[in-house]
Amino acid sequence: SEKMAGHGEVLVSTASAPTNIAVVKYWGKRDTKLNLPINSSLSVTLHQEDLQTITSVAIGKDFEGGDRVWLNGKEETDLASNKRMQGVFSAIRERAGDVVDEASGEVLVPSAELKTYKIHVVSRNSFPTAAGLASSASGYACLVKALSQVFRVKEAHEGELTEIARAGSGSASRSLYGGYVKWEMGTRDDGVDSRAYQVKPEEHWPNMHALICVVSDHKKTTSSTGGMIDSVRTSELLKFRAENVVPARMKAMEEAIAAKDFPAFAELTMRDSNQFHATCLDTYPPIAYMTDTSHNVSRLVHAINNESSSGPICAYTFDAGPNAVIFLEEDHVEKVLKALLADFGPDSAESSEPFVRGQTTLPAADCMEAHPLSDANKHLRGNLKYIIHTRVGPGALEVTEEEKVLVDSATGLPK
């Protein structure tokens, strides 16, 4: 995918990365510079067919204007000089290898020189940032993957790249791998043992699906970074959770995943989300991420599960915002989607984009026709903006298709 490369030339590499949703949540840091957490966490990687970041990196000796970053078509000058971004750049530069001609073995650019190259990052999300879906996880994972490729970084130990992504954004450590991923908190001050591992690949439990319920009214809420600082400082419940609840829950969650025990997975997931939001309310002053709509989705999930004689068939989880992510096995998607649409379906057929998108496509008009609303719950209609149907998927990947590359390989500028 790459033409080589003497002096004055531009090196380009491209990667894609997924988002992930934690089922044992990361909340609270023991070191805010390195993003070292107060507890371990565990997540499911979502499929890149439905939600994905693509990042191209161009590096060049002669780039004027230093390191630069373009996000979703717009140059972000603050981001390029941001501490976390620069931290990732220097962690990668420190580990740069030689650029070697594959055929002859000749060193084209020695690592000492490669380190001095300036960096251009051009990145795009396949999902709307305004929907309030976490983009820092896929964003930093993708950046680290693309940078590691172009700077010829070879991991000195398994998971070294996840440490670098972690320093960009904690949850990004888990987006390098597919399937079911844990981030071990570690104990060292330098963070070398705070990295992610794959618990099971996506093929182990491939019929794990998710319905992302995007809530209509998005007010600006407290950022994860800021919220965690306040929670660590003021919440005794958070300290109790980290020390006395999470260690056993991590073990139980790993066992539930190994056994593909959905009822166990579901109860642990819902309890963990609820406890995370309880620690937010225990923060002083309190942080409230869930809205009335969030609580109404949670109630519906419990109502569906109460009717099941074989234990829970769906599980909600909420992050630092009001959107619900509902995990469920493929067999139950139709039933749960039907129940969601009956309560929270669209209130207008006039929408250019389908109300259900991703693995299933359903235009708003079809939803309204197929799922007439129960009178009792008429007030809930319109409270969701749309639903993304997705499933468990693979981790970060190198992208080689020329049409997906976001930078011009001659100039190093966005295409």
Q: Which stretch binds ligand DP6 (CB under 6 A): 1-9, 19-27, 73-81, 329-337?
A: 19-27
Q: Which stretch binds ligand DP6 (CB under 6 A): 54-62, 68-76, 157-165, 169-177?
A: 169-177
Whole-number Å distance between alpha carbons of 354 and 338: 15
Q: Does 25 bind ligand DP6 (CB under 6 A)?
A: yes
Whole-number Å distance between alpha carbons of 219 and 308: 35
- 60 closest CA partner among 130, 142, 116, 124: 116
**Residues 222-251 close enough to bind ligand DP6 by CB under 6 A:** 224-225
Q: Does 30 bind ligand DP6 (CB under 6 A)?
A: no
**Residues 188-227 close enough to bind ligand DP6 by CB under 6 A:** 224-225
Q: Does 22 bind ligand DP6 (CB under 6 A)?
A: yes
DSSP of 391-413, one letter per residue? EB----EEE--GGG--B-TTT-S
Phi, psi at residue 100, to the nearest 5°?
A: -115, 135
Q: Does 170 bind ligand DP6 (CB under 6 A)?
A: yes
CA 219, distance to chain mean position in Å, is 21
Residue 81 C-beta: closest distance to ligand DP6, Å: 17
**Residues 243-302 close enough to bind ligand DP6 by CB under 6 A:** none
Q: Does 41 bind ligand DP6 (CB under 6 A)?
A: yes
Q: Give, for 356, the enclosing helix (H) or strand (E).
A: strand 356-358
Whole-number Å distance between alpha carbons of 246 and 37: 12
Residue 342 C-beta: closest distance to ligand DP6, Å: 29
Alpha carbons within 13 angstroms on the beta-carbon side of residue 70 total 17
Contact map string, positions 323 to 362, toward ligand DP6, x by CB under 6 A = ----------------------------------------
Using the minimum distance from each CB to ligand DP6, give the nearer residue, 319 or 343. Answer: 319
Note whether 46 and 392 are within 8 A (CB).
yes
By CB under 6 A, name the binding residues for ligand DP6: 22, 25-27, 35, 41, 134, 136, 169-171, 224-225, 319-320
